[in-house]
Amino acid sequence: MTRKFFVGGNWKMNGSKKDVNTLVSMLNNATFSDVEVVVAPPALYLSTVRTELNSNIEVAGQNAYYVSKGAYTGEVSPEMLKDMGINWVILGHSERRDIFRESDEVVAKKVKHALDTGLGVIACCGEKLEEREAGQTTAVVFRQLKAISDLVQDWSKIVIAYEPVWAIGTGKVATPQQAQDVHDSIRQWLSENVSPAAAEATRIIYGGSVNGGNCNELAGCPDVDGFLVGGASLKPEFVNIINAKI
Ligand SMILES: O=C(CO)COP(=O)(O)O
């Protein structure tokens, strides 16, 4: 079974109308094949990006709540994303977990509700520096994934993003060996806790200071099935990252 290479661009809270136009034309002019490309603009720009972007590129929300509608000021539901032609959502990003205090359980409820609505989910996991230094990397990642597997049986619309927190926005990318080791452990975890078929089919992508210079070597790792890119997704080098596997 071959897993289609998957590259996500997480714009985080960046951009303006002008920047969005620039990024959309960069993406519409990009050539690529045999790779799934998904970009995640801030919520306010989702609709414009979906309208302007070529249909071979999917669009993702950066977050969505676990309720369809109601008195939840400031939130957006998976149903609303779907209604606007947005087929993906990033959930459990470390910035959501750390800055906005989202627990493993809240992230898991969001993943379940988004999947039930028919969205694809980029589910993020990853350890902090002190957790890595304490030898807790896989314990943390498995704990985060178990919260999801407690609620979700079908992983066919989940892409797992392994994003070590110490590598996010720091310029300190994981080495290919560090990424490969954790991805391999996640795949074994999937095999034991979900199913061998899910382990074989699920894309496990890496995020954290990926750029045009380091993407090729990382893409060569057998268990690195793509990337979730932050800062470099706002630059022309994102097109090189999309084509990293070639
Ligand atoms: O958090 C990330 C993607 O979700 C990674 O961010 P950077 O690529 O800026 O390190």
- Convert the pLDDT of each residue in 166-219 to its tens digit: 999 999 999 999 999 999 999 999 999 999 999 999 999 999 999 999 999 999
Average pLDDT, the chain: 98
- The rounded Cα 71 to chain-centroid distance in angstroms is 28
pLDDT of residue 160: 99
Q: What band does 61 get if pLDDT is binned at 50, 70 and 90?
A: very high
Known catalytic residue: 163?
A: yes
Q: Cα dist. 144→133, 158, 223, 239 in Å? A: 18, 14, 19, 31
List 36, 58, 93, 113, catalytic entry: 93
- Among protein residues, the one whose CA lies closest to atom 8 of ligand 1: 230
Q: Tell me the percentage of the chain whose pLDDT exceeds 90.
A: 99
Residues 6+ apart with CB under 8 A from 157: 115, 119, 120, 121
Inform me whether the pLDDT recorded for 72 exceeds 80. yes
CATH of domain 5-242: 3.20.20.70
Pocket of ligand 1 contains residue 8 by CB under 6 Å: no
pTM of the model: 0.98
ipTM value greater than 0.90: yes
Distance CA 40, CA 12 (A): 8
Q: What is the mean pLDDT of residues 33-40?
A: 97
State whether the Cα torsion 119-218-96-194 is positive or negative: positive
> Average pLDDT of 133-156?
98
Instruction: Return the domain boundaries, the chain.
Output: 5-242
Judge whether residue 1 has pLDDT over 70.
no
93 flagged as catalytic: yes
Which tens digit of pLDDT belongs to each residue from 91-142?
Answer: 999 999 999 999 999 999 999 999 999 999 999 999 999 999 999 999 999 9
Confidence of residue 6 (pLDDT cuts 50, 70, 90): very high
User: From the candidates 58, 79, 127, 163, which is the catalytic residue?
Assistant: 163
Q: Is the CB of 229 under 6 A from ligand 1?
A: yes
